[in-house]
Structure 1
Amino acid sequence: MGRTGSATAILAAVLFGVSTPLAKLLVHDLSPWMLAGLLYLGSGIGLGLVRLTRGLTAPQHGRSERSLHGTEWPWLLAAVFAGGIAGPVLLMFGLTATSASTASLLLNLEGVFTALLAWFVFREGVDRRLVAGMVAIVAGAVVLSWGGAVDIAGGWGPAAVATACLMWAVDNNLTRKVSLADPVDIAAIKGLVAGGVNVGIALALGAGLPAVPTMIAAMLVGLLGYGISLVLFVVALRHLGTARTGAYFSTAPFVGGIVSLFMFGEPLTAGLAAAAVLMGLGVWLHLTEDHDHEHVHEEVEHDHPHMHDEHHRHAHDGPVTEPHTHKHRHGRLRHRHAHFPDAHHVHTH
């Protein structure tokens, strides 16, 4: 399942990275607030339609995903507030008092904050190889965003940008808490709330709605880079945990840089080449991780998508499809195998 998580995390980064140069084509026609709002709304509305039109009448035994539980809503709402409202607001205000080069460099803090919160607050497992991979990926992102002039002394602008990154890191870690629920539901709710807030702020600041073709284009980009990408990100959270997923997702700026080479004829720079080497090294360190030790699974009852593997050995009254979801109980088990901090391997080291 670790390979599934790695693949979906990298694909999420690719989609988000591709959306950045696409959004750049639209930024001249829209205010930053309006563009952000339409990108989020495109995600929320598009995924909402997917949710409404797919097998809503499927029999209980045929469900492959489950709805959010009542106890999960506070986590999701807190994540939406942190990442969909507080983060964008802090970023936009911070950009008014921060140079573009400084802001680009500071935005790399999201991956760092995400990993630090996962390791030290939410107690995900960590080892030296994982840290080395994370350092290499972040170093590649720093090289890619280096503008040659950084000014973080004085002023509240850089502090606001850094705090926005912290809010997105909080969002990533809180979303992990609900990642066993339907990822389409999670991404749709995030998109609708964040999109509505950002469009509302844009209108309050005097921005008008764009022409219909521009609006549709922005929303389609949002569905791709914010919606489908977030669905894949949530699936990766299930299998890899927050720190590893965030590390893979930190490669998105490199993808955007590669796409920009072809879209805008931008030159292949030494920074882009160095970022490729560093990020490639970091991804390789993560892909070749072998976290293997004896561990104990305590007895637990929960509900999530699963297949009948070594952790799910239970009978059904009738035929089922795989993966499927239903409430099931795990007995206490002690064994040893390679694993990641997924829903069945949340333990201290």
Structure 2
Amino acid sequence: MGQTGSTTAILAAVLFGVSTPLAKLLVHDLSPWMLAGLLYLGSGLGLGLVRLVRGLAVSAERSERSIRGTEWLWLLGAVFAGGIAAPVLLMSGLTATPASTASLMLNLEGVFTALLAWFVFHEGFDRRLVAGMVAIVAGAAVLSWGGPPDIASGLAGGWGPAAVAAACLMWAVDNNLTRKVSLADPMDIAMIKGLVAGSVNVGIALALGDGVPAMPTTAAAMLVGLLGYGVSLVLFVFALRYIGTARTGAYFSTAPFVGGIASLAMFGEPLTAGLVVAAVLMGIGVWLHLTEDHDHEHVHEEIEHDHPHVHDDHHRHHHDGPVTEPHSHRHRHGRLRHRHAHFPDAHHVHTH
């Protein structure tokens, strides 16, 4: 499952990274609030339509389960932190922060995500994983480096950079709380996030005096949002399920590099030394993560939960009749001690 998680995380980064230069084509026609709102709404409405069509077309039992019980609290917390609080803090901070400073500070999201995963939510890590994370974040920092003068003047602004850093912290909280609901249907999670965050941001834009944009512009923004925010988030949640928060966040931090490569083709921007250095650093970081071999004897305590699965070494329960795989239902795991390579998924949340 580790390979599946790594692949989906990288695909999520590719889609989100490409959406950035595409959104740049629209930013001249829309305010930041309206653009953010339409991107999120495109994600929520588009996935909602897919969800509806899928529900009408498939009569068999769903392989993915719905959000249940206390998971709603985790999801609401994630939506508030990442879909409402973070954009408000970022837009407020940008009014008093130079663009170069803000670009560098946005790399704090990956750092905060990993730190919260490791030290608050107790996700396992080792020196190799930390080194890979550092290399990827360093590559992202190189891409957004705007020079010491702007950094110095930006930090002197006080509350502006603090607000940008707080936005990164809120997105990191969002990532870690979303991990708590990642066993539920990723499409439902992304749809709800998109609808709530989109409605709030469009509402703020209208309250600030923005008019309703022309239909072609609206449609283009929502299509970019469906792919770059919606489908990307679905893949991101799948990755959270299989490889945990810190590793998923590290892979997702390669999105600025993907956006930079896309900009070369779309806008004819020059190939810079920074892009080459970032490629090397991120390549090293991704290689360190992909070649990770976390293998030790560990104990699975008895647990009962519900999530999509196939019958493997961790799922040996009995069914009365024939079943299709993957399938989802409540099942119990007995206590088990064994050794194999693994990632911090739903069955491997032990401490080290």
Q: Which TM-score applies when normalising by structure 2?
A: 0.98
**Secondary structure at 2:162 match in 1:** helix
**1:176 matches 2:175:** no
- Which residue in 1 is equivalent to 2:118? 119
Q: 1:192 to 1:168 in 2, by over 3 A?
A: same
Aligned equivalents of 1:56, 1:78: Cα separation in 2: 30
Contact 2:97–2:157 (8 Å) recurs in 1: no
1:147-186 equivalences in 2 (<5 Å): 147-148=146-147, 149-150=150-151, 151-186=154-189
**Partner AA of 2:242 in structure 1:** H
Q: Distance in 1 between matches of 2:134 and 2:208?
A: 39
Bigger mean CA deviation after superposition, 200-209 or 314-323: 314-323
**Deviations, residues 178-206 of structure 1 (Å, cap 9, x unaligned):** 00000000000000000000000000000
Match of 2:339 in 1: 336
Q: Distance in 1 between matches of 2:281 and 2:57?
A: 48
**Where do 1:253-264 residues align within 5 Å?**
253-264=256-267
Q: Displacement of 1:154 after TM fit?
A: 4.0
Q: Which moved more, 1:146-155 or 1:322-331?
A: 146-155
Query: Structure 2 residue aligned with 1:234, among 216, 220, 237?
Result: 237
Residue matched to 1:325: 328
Instruction: Measure the CA separation in 1 of the matches of 2:95 and 2:71.
Output: 36
Amino acid across the alignment from 2:24: K
Q: Unmatched 5+ residue regions in structure 1?
A: none
Aligned to 2:4: 4
- The separation in 2 between residues aligned to 1:340 and 1:134, in whole angstroms, is 16
Q: Take 2:249 and 2:313, find their aligned partners in 1: how far apart are those partners?
A: 27
Q: CA deviation at 1:71?
A: 1.3
* Partner AA of 2:200 in structure 1: V
Q: What displacement does 1:29 show?
A: 0.3
For residue 191 of structure 1, what is the amino acid of its counterpart?
G
The more displaced of 168-177 and 47-56 is 47-56
Provide Cα deviations, 1:135-181, integer angstroms capped at 9, x if missing partner. 00000000000011313134210000000000000000000000000
Q: Are residues 1:92 and 2:95 paired?
A: no
RMSD: 0.9
Number of equivalent positions: 348
Which residue of 2 is the match for residue 37 of structure 1? 37
SS at match of 2:70: helix
Secondary structure of 2:325's counterpart equals coil
- CA distance in 2 between counterparts of 1:93 and 1:15 reads 27
Q: Counterpart of 2:92 in 1: which secondary structure?
A: helix
- SS across alignment from 1:113: helix
> Partners of 2:72 and 2:56 in 1: how far apart?
21
1:249 maps onto 2:249 in alignment: no
Partner residue, 1:50: 50
Partner of 1:13: 13
Secondary structure of 2:328's counterpart equals: strand
Distance in 2, Cα, partners of 1:29 & 1:55: 36
Tell me which amino acid in the other structure corresponds to 1:228.
V
Amino acid at match of 1:160: A
Partner residue, 1:25: 25
Which of 283, 293, 308 matches 2:286? 283
**Which residue of 2 is the match for residue 293 of structure 1?**
296
Matches within 5 A, 1:136-155: 136-148=135-147, 149-150=150-151, 151-155=154-158
Distance 1:326 1:58 in 2: 18
SS of alignment partner, residue 49 of structure 1: helix
Query: Which structure 2 residue ranges, 5 or more long, are not aligned?
Result: none
Question: Retained in 1: the 8 A contact 2:41–2:222?
Answer: yes
Contact 2:96 2:157 in 1 (8 A): no
1:56 Cα deviation (Å)? 5.2
Offset at residue 242 of structure 1 (A): 0.2
CA displacement at 1:254 relative to structure 2: 0.1
What amino acid sits opposite 1:123 in the alignment?
Answer: H
CA distance in 2 between counterparts of 1:235 and 1:288 reads 20
Counterpart in the other structure of 1:78: 77
1:315 CA displacement: 1.7
Pair 1:215-2:236 in alignment: no
